[in-house]
Amino acid sequence: MTERATPHLVATGLSAGYSQVPVVRGVSLQVGLGEIVVVVGPNGAGKSTLVKAVTGELELLQGRISLESRDITGLGEDDRMARGMGYVPQLRDVFPTLTVMENLEMGGYRLAKREVPQRVEAVLETFPALKGLRRRLARSMSGGEQKMLGIARALMADPKFLILDEPTANLAPQVATHVLKDIVAQLALSGRAVLLIEQRVALALEIASWGYVLTDGQLRLDRSAKDLLAMSDLGTLFLGMSEAGATSLHHH
């Protein structure tokens, strides 16, 4: 794997799960600066679980995680975020009883006070739909609007390493494309590291540089995105797809 960027996040031999029962077993992955790394897999494969282990929401049963070659295995969620991680969870990604502005301020919790207004404006620029909703409570917004807010919130801190768990869920097609092709791709271009989970597999692989296929809690493939995209049998082999499904993967 010589062509990969210098690793920013390195996870080795991760096992994590719920009530001491591992769901994800022995997964190793790395994300380098300037890279977009995609994890794909069927429902229930353990993608979100893997991500929660990386953010620290779930305690590790086994394995180590390092960020910028420093071991962060023992750190709590808040400390990991303080080291430049950002996270958009799949579910529960906004503070429902806070307004849009307050949500964004929380996203920029660790920023200096005077930086916040600037960042808010910058982030709202990327999601114009939120502009008119500054004082709206998050729980009284539409599904897609909430998702946008969730992403915007995570962008506030301008994280060096961003984790997105199905960020395009509930988003209208052009917004989804905007998120992946403009925002995420732009982040990578500017030297950030991105770990992305997507069900819009083809679209994700298009922008990604590296991809992992996770099924049943274990890594099955670890290839460059181009290689994965070229594998015509990717869907049938690893994602349990029928022929029809596999074609839809490519012409999405």
Partner 1 sequence: MEGGSDVGAWSFYITTLLVYFVVDALSAFSLNLQFGYAGVVNFGFIVFQAAGAYVAAVVTLGPSGGQASFQQYILGSHLPFPLELLAATLAGAVLSLVVGLFALRRMRRDYQAAVLLIVSLIALQVVSADVPLFNGSNGLTGVTWPFGQLFGATATGSPFLYLGYAAIIGLLVCLGVIWLSRSPWGRSLRAMRDHEDAASAMGLNITSLRLQVFVLGGAIAGLSGGLLVEYIGAWSPGAWGYAETFVIFTAIFVGGVGNYRGVLVGTLLVPIIFLEIPRFLPAVGYPGLTDSLEWVVVGLAWMLCLLFRPRGIIPERRLKASLHGSPREPAPAEGSA
Partner 2 sequence: MSGPMALGAVDPQVVPTPGAPVLEARDVAVGYGGVRAVDGVSLAVYPGEVVGIIGPNGAGKSSFLGALGGQVKRSRGHILLGSRDISQLPPHERARLGLVRTFQTTSEFARMTVFENLVTAAEGDSGASLKAVILHPRRTHLREQELSERAFGIMERFEMTHTADLYGRELSGGQRRLVEIMRCLVRHPQVLLLDEPMVGVAPHLTGKLIDDLRGIAADGLGILVVEHALEVVRRLCDRVVVMAFGKVIAAGEFEEVVADPQVQAAYLS
Partner 3 sequence: MLAQLLGSAADGIVVAAILAVAAMGFTLQFSLTNVLNLSFGSVMTIGAFTAYLVNVAGLSPWLGLALGTVAGALATVLLGRGVLRLYARRRTQLFEMMMVTLGMSLVIDYGIQAISQNAIYGYTVLQGSPIRMGPIAVTPIQVGIIGIALVLLVAVEAALHLTKLGKALRATAVEPSLARSCGIKTSRVVLVTWLVSGGLCGLAGVVYIISTQSVDYTTGELFLPLIIAAAILGGVGSLRGAVVASLVMGLVTEIVAGFGGAAYSTVAGFAILVVVLLLHPGAVFGGAEDRQLVL
Ligand X SMILES: Nc1ncnc2c1ncn2[C@@H]1O[C@H](COP(=O)(O)OP(=O)(O)OP(=O)(O)O)[C@@H](O)[C@H]1O
> Site residues (CB under 8 A) for partner 1?
42-45, 215-216, 238, 240
Nearest to 55 by CA among 22, 26, 89: 89
161-165 and 85-88 strand pairing: parallel
Min CB(42)–ligand X separation in Å: 7
- When CB distances are held under 5 to 8 angstroms depending on the partner's kind, the choice from Mg ion, ligand X, partner 3, none that residue 145 binds is ligand X
Alpha-carbon distance of 45 to 24, in angstroms, equals: 8
Q: Which of 18, 79, 191, 233 binds partner 2 (CB under 8 A)?
A: 18
Task: Return d(Cα 149, Cα 88) in angstroms, integer.
Answer: 10
Q: Looking at beta carbons only, is 76 or 132 nearer to ligand X?
A: 132
Eight-class DSSP state of 23: E
Q: Given the rule CB under 6 A, which of 62-70, 78-86, 98-106, 137-145 is the region that contacts ligand X?
A: 137-145
Of 60-68, 74-82, 100-108, 163-171, which segment contacts partner 2 by CB under 8 A? 163-171
Pick from 39, 16, 12: nearest CA to 210: 39
Picking from 31, 17, 166, the residue whose alpha carbon sits closest to that of residue 87 is 166
Q: Provide, rounded to whole angstroms, the least separation between the CB of residue 129 and ligand X.
A: 9
Residues in region 120-139 near partner 3 by CB under 8 A: 139
Interaction of residue 168 with Mg ion, rule CB under 5 A: no
Residue with smaller CB distance to partner 1, 170 or 236:
236
**Ordered DSSP codes for 123-175:** HHHH-GGGGGGTTSBGGGS-HHHHHHHHHHHHHHT--SEEEEESTTTT--HHH
Residues near ligand X (CB under 6 A)? 18, 23, 41, 43-49, 90, 140-145, 170
